[in-house]
A = this chain, B = another copy of it.
């Protein structure tokens, strides 16, 4: 179970609202490579993980990503504060506003509601860790693209850099986990697959 703590992993204080930027950053809340998918992927995979240290790793990172999800939600909320209907109407946030006002909803920037089809949980330790390493690189890529759009808003850039850096750390940790699994499964299994069926 989880205990909520009121502080964020990193402070979010946005001075200047910007509905256009909010409409892009929402993709890290509910987009294909965003924080919702990240946390749910790891918190789901851990049930089938055969090694306790990897189960703990998935729990750790999954729980951390829940905090990142909260940070991204705060970014969207602060970027849409005190806007007039006119300002929103003339921004790319208009279609989102029709259905969600300025509430935070898990959708991609494209308007596609989050869908579990964008993640996997396979009950196979190597397949899951490979998926996780891919997921971290794709999340890093999304933050790169948001950075390209937020150069004029340093408050946002600062938060995004923090989040991006954490994805790189997670990628490293999943890489180490993969190494550990490879050694345990079979020291000569250089092809990284479950050997059970190739006897």
Contacts and interface: CB of A to CB of B under 8 A. Distances in A.
A145 interface: yes
A103 B77 contact: no
A194 B60 CA distance: 25
Contacts of A144: 124, 194, 196-197
A29 to B, nearest CB: 8
A2 to B, nearest CB: 5
Contact of A124 (B9, B103, B151): B103
A151 B85 CA distance: 10
Tier of interface size on chain A = 35 or more
B120 A105 contact: yes
Interface string A71-115: 001101100000001000100101111111111111111111111
Contact of A148 (B85, B95, B107): B85
A148 B95 CA distance: 13
Interface of A: 1-5, 7-9, 20, 23-24, 27, 30-33, 36, 40, 43-45, 47-48, 59-60, 63-64, 66-67, 69-70, 73-74, 76-77, 85, 89, 92, 94-118, 120-124, 126-128, 130-138, 140-142, 144-149, 151, 164, 168, 171-172, 191-194, 196-197
